[in-house]
Chains A and B, each alone.
Chain A
Amino acid sequence: MATTNQTSLYGLMAEFDDPAAVVSATRRAYAAGYRCMDAYSPYPIEELHHALGIHGNRLPLVVLIGGIVGGLGGYLLEYWISAIAYPLDVGGRPLHSWPAFIPVAFETTILLAALSAVVGMIAANGLPMPYHPVFNVPEFERASRDGFFLCIEATDPKFDVHETRRFLESLNPREVADVEP
């Protein structure tokens, strides 16, 4: 029912007063079978993404790869420069003087790992995103202050404007709002 409504809205958003309420609401929405949804809070709440069914992410792997590439890349660059491209014999010391190459290889490891952490986090989060429908809800500006929100998106197979609204209202929110696309 109400297939027309499904295309006209991004989703339905419920606002809650405190973190415990949004966490339990999210758990109940997950238990009710909703999957395409997201919760919004002014600070990180670990239980909230667990309630959404998210357990861990692949960022550590990205950072590990960044670090390995940085370390190996830095070291090989030093080796290639000092032993192959520009060999300088200083007092007969070995051209491949590995102990002296450690500090720079260490710094490049950290540099690339840190860049992967930040760039990876921003990219995986789909940022920068100049426009997002949730900002169409006027109350949503409180999400960066003291508001807690749960948005069930219209793309969810179980989404139905009236049914979902009734469900959200049963969770004892402050308000349920339509999210314009």
Chain B
Amino acid sequence: MDYEISLLTAVGISVLFALSLNLITGLCGQISLGHAAFFGIGAYTSALLAKAGVPFLATLPAAMLLPAAFGVVVGLASLRVRADFLAITTMGVGFLFVGVVRQQDALGGEMGISAIPDTGLSKLAFMLLTVALCVLAALLSQYIRRSWMGQVFNAIAEDEDTTRVMGMDVPRYKLAAFAMGTALAGLAGALYANNLKFISPDSFGFVESMTVLSMVVIGGIGSIPGVTAAAIVLALLPSMFTFIGEYKLLVYGGLLFLMMRFSPDGVTGALRRLAARGKA
């Protein structure tokens, strides 16, 4: 049972992380290749606070606010760039995060932070908390999609210039997407740190950013059930087929390529087309 519980916890953290990127890339159309940095900021914030004696649950607000603050700064910097340039900028932010953390002794440097204090929750309770937060994040995403904010996000994702000419304050909406998405990534990072009790810069690098982007793209950009399902499958893959571990990036890269080539709207889009063909 212990194995299933820890597996479910890990999967839940992946789902939460994927849903956080889906807010930015899926709903608002802003690509990010450095999302793991915000996951990392949340993880480090929570870990350091916990080591300083702050109870686990009390570290969570800070582990959301700090990444969100950085998210807004990155968002501000990226207001002037679009699409492929935004991809490069966010990728740079990802490398910057790992580079800076490696050099800081206060953050544990290369060795990372180990022996993160116990959360005070049983393994089962921690798993249930993770799953509950996933459900909340999914419900929040669904609500945002249905709200006027979701309408505007959709419009920005499709055609930013036209959205502005229709009187909508596009920069503020983008910043809102970045703030919400990075806050949720920070929350996922805090869960990750307290689950493993050990973090190091290697856990928040480019591979992790690509992994989470694969989940969003393969699931079907913007589709909340699709992204959730893809996150579950892709998080389970390495533990079901241990040999994948070595070739993780190759598998994800291959899947990304296949999706972009054959079904740019992800598995969700492919299923929708199949259903339409079935009806016809």
**A and B part of one assembly:** no
